[in-house]
Amino acid sequence: MDHKDAIGISAVEKYLLHELTPEQRDAFEEHYFGCEECFSDLRSAQLFLDAAKLELARQPEVMAPAVSKDKKLIRFPLFMRPAVLIPAMAAMLAIIVFQNAVTVPSLRGDVASLDRPQLLSSVALADGSSRGGPTPEVVTQPHQRFVLSVDIPAQDRFSRYTCSLYSPSGSRIWTMTIPASRTTDAVPISISPDTTKAGVNTLIIQGIPKSGGDATPVDLSRDSFLLTIRS
C-alpha cells in the first residue's frame, strides 16, 4: 500500500474504527511505519478520540428544576440538551487548543526536519547472526529514528513474512508485514526510539505459509540488538 492508496480508502479512520480487512490492516501497518504523514495523522486522530471519550464519559449531575403544571415543558433533542452539548463543546475546544498549541507546531517541526538531510544510526541483523556473539549496538538520540537492516531468510513455501519488535521487558511493540518480493535484499526498517526503550530489544521474523496448507506462522529468526539513547 502506498500513500495514495491509504488516502483513497481513508485508511487512518478505518484503522482506528477496525473497519479494515486483515489484508488491508497488514498493508497499512507496513505503510505507516515508513510514512511520516500517515503516522502523524494516526497519532492526531488517536489523541482526538482519547480526549473525546474522556470528556463524553463524564456524566454531570444536573438537578431538574420543578416545572409548574400551567407551563408547557419545552423538550430539546438529546444532542441539544446542555448536559450533552456543553461537555461536547468543551471537548472540541480542548482538541482545538491542543492542536494549535502542541500538535500543529510539532508537525511543522517534523515536516521541516524531513527537508533536511539526516544521518541515521543503523545496525545490521542477519539471520540470527547475533546469537553466540556480541550483541550489535545502535546508538541514537532522543526522538531520533534509527534503521534496522534485516536479512529475511526467504523460502519458496512462504507468501509473506512478519517482523515483530519486542521491548527489553518482553512486550511486543509492533508487527509489520514484509512482502516476499522485498526479501531479495536486506530490508531497511526505520524505527522511532519513542516506541521502545533503551536496552536489549528483540526482532522476531516469521514466515506465513502459502494458502492451501497450514497457515500457522513459522519462526525463522530471532535477533537481539542493544539500543542506547544518548542526550
Place of cell 517534523: 110
Q: pLDDT for 35-64, tens place per residue?
A: 878 777 777 777 776 666 666 666 555 555
- At residue 126, the pLDDT reads 74
Q: Are residues 15 and 110 in the same domain?
A: yes
Structural domain boundaries enclosing 185: 121-229
Place of cell 482506528: 16
Strand order across the beta sheet in which 158-166 lies:
137-140, 218-229, 199-209, 158-166, 172-179
Q: Are residues 94 and 160 in the same domain?
A: no
Q: Are residues 37 and 21 in the same domain?
A: yes
Q: Is the dihedral of CA 211, 164, 49, 11 positive or negative?
A: negative
Q: Is the dihedral of CA 23, 26, 27, 28 positive or negative?
A: positive
DSSP state at residue 197 = -
Q: Please tell me the distance from the alpha carbon of residue 84 to that of residue 86, in angstroms, as a whole number.
A: 6
- What mean pLDDT do residues 192-202 have? 91
Greater confidence (26 vs 175) lies with: 175
Amino acid in position 91: A
Indicate whether 65 belongs to any domain. Answer: no
- Our count of domains for the chain comes to 2
> Comparing C-alpha atoms, which of 194, 161, 143, 203 is closest to residue 30?
161
Phi/psi-derived region of residue 109, left when phi > 0, alpha when psi is between -120 and 50, beta in every other case: alpha
Amino acid in position 14: K
Q: pLDDT for 99-144, tens place per residue?
A: 555 555 556 555 555 566 767 888 888 755 545 678 999 999 998 8
Q: Are residues 90 and 192 in the same domain?
A: no
Q: Are residues 80 and 164 in the same domain?
A: no
224 near 180, Cβ under 8 Å?
no
> Comparing C-alpha atoms, which of 190, 149, 150 is closest to residue 30?
190
Least confident of 88-97, 106-115, 169-178: 106-115
